[in-house]
C-alpha cells in the first residue's frame, strides 16, 4: 500500500484485474498536484499482495470489504473511491454498503454486463477462450492471454495496461481465476442503485469495448446521481490521469 499527497479529498484507488496499484501512479501525481491525496494498494494476489493456495474464489463483496478495512485503518474520514474494472464494481458495492466511508465514486469501465443482455453470447465465447488457453499452456497461458486482451469480453482492454503495472507470477494466476466470476455473480441491487445518495461518475474511453460502453450507460441510467464521462483512447485512469483527478475532485465537491 502507498500514498501520495497530503491534502483533501482522500481518493482510494482500486485497480483492475491483471494490474497492480502502480497503474494509479499518474493519477496520484495529478491528485497531489491538485492538493488531493491518493491511497492505493495491491488487491489480493496482484503485485506485492500475497495470495495463498486456498485463494480460489472471491466476490465483489469481499473486495469491497477489503477496501473498507483500508479506509477504516487509515481513519481518513470519507473518501472518493476510484475503481477500474472489477475495482469499479467493488467501489460501487462499498458506496452502497458503507456509505459513511464514501463521498462518491468514480468508476472506470465497470464490466456490469448484466445491463447488456446480448453480452451472454460474448461471455460464452470468452469462457471457451479461457478453456482453450488452459488446454494449450495451463493457467499461466490464460493469464498471458488475459493481459494480451485475448480472452474476449473478459479481458477487453487489458492490453492497454502498461508493462510496469502488469502483474505476473503464481499469485496473479490464482487471483485471475479467483476473480473471473466475481462480477458476473454479483446481483444487481437495482433498488439500492436507484436510491443511492452519493454522487458518482462513470468513465469510458474512445476505445472502450462496445459491450462495456453499453454497460456504462445501463449503470448510469440505474443510479440516482450519476453522469457519464468519455475520454480519449488508451487506459482512461492511466492515460488521462489529469481528467480523472479533476473528476474525482468534482465528485467530492458534489457530495
Domain ranges of the chain: 2-113+167-254
**How far is the C-alpha of 24 from the C-alpha of 42, rounded, in Å?**
11
Cell of 81: 473511491
pLDDT at res. 230: 97
Residue 8: Cβ within 10 Å count: 16
pLDDT at res. 51: 81
pLDDT at res. 74: 85
89 CB-contact burial (10 Å; exposed 0-12 / middle 13-18 / buried 19+): buried
pLDDT at res. 167: 96
Cell of 90: 467493488
- Residues of the chain where predicted confidence (pLDDT) is lower than 70: none
**How far is the C-alpha of 74 from the C-alpha of 138, rounded, in Å?**
40
- Assign domain 2-113+167-254 to a CATH class: alpha beta
Contact 184, 146 (CB under 8 A): no
Strand partners, 203: 108, 229
Tell me the pLDDT tens digit for each residue of 179-193.
Answer: 999 999 999 999 999
Strand pairing category for 102-108 and 200-205: parallel
Q: Is the pTM of this model over 0.75?
A: yes
In angstroms, the Cα distances linking 125 to 18, 178, 180 are: 20, 19, 14
**How far is the C-alpha of 234 from the C-alpha of 210, rounded, in Å?**
15
Amino acid at each position: 500500500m502507498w500514498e501520495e499527497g497530503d491534502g483533501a479529498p482522500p481518493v482510494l484507488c482500486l485497480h483492475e484485474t491483471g494490474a497492480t496499484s502502480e497503474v494509479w501512479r499518474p493519477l496520484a501525481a495529478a491528485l497531489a498536484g491538485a492538493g488531493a491525496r491518493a491511497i492505493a494498494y495491491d488487491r489480493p494476489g496482484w503485485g506485492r499482495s500475497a495470495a495463498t493456495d486456498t485463494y480460489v474464489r472471491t466476490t465483489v463483496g469481499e473486495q469491497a470489504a477489503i477496501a473498507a478495512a483500508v479506509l477504516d485503518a487509515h481513519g481518513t474520514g470519507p473518501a472518493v473511491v476510484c475503481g477500474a474494472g472489477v475495482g469499479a464494481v467493488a467501489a460501487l458495492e462499498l458506496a452502497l454498503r458503507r456509505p459513511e466511508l464514501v463521498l462518491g465514486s468514480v468508476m472506470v469501465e465497470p464490466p456490469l454486463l448484466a445491463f447488456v443482455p446480448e453480452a451472454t453470447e460474448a461471455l460464452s465465447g470468452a469462457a471457451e477462450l479461457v478453456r482453450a488457453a488452459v488446454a494449450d499452456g495451463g493457467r499461466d497461458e490464460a493469464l498471458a492471454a488475459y493481459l494480451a486482451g485475448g480472452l474476449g469480453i473478459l479481458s477487453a482492454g487489458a492490453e492497454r495496461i502498461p508493462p510496469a503495472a502488469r502483474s505476473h507470477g503464481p499469485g496473479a494466476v490464482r487471483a485471475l481465476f479467483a476473480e473471473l466470476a466475481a462480477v458476473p455473480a454479483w446481483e444487481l441491487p437495482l433498488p439500492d442503485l436507484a436510491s443511492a445518495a452519493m454522487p458518482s461518475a462513470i468513465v469510458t474511453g474512445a476505445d472502450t469495448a462496445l459491450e462495456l460502453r453499453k454497460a456504462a450507460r445501463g449503470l448510469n441510467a440505474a443510479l440516482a446521481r450519476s453522469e457519464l464521462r468519455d475520454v480519449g483512447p488508451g487506459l482512461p485512469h492511466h492515460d488521462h490521469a489529469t481528467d480523472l483527478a479533476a473528476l474525482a475532485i468534482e465528485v467530492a465537491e458534489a457530495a
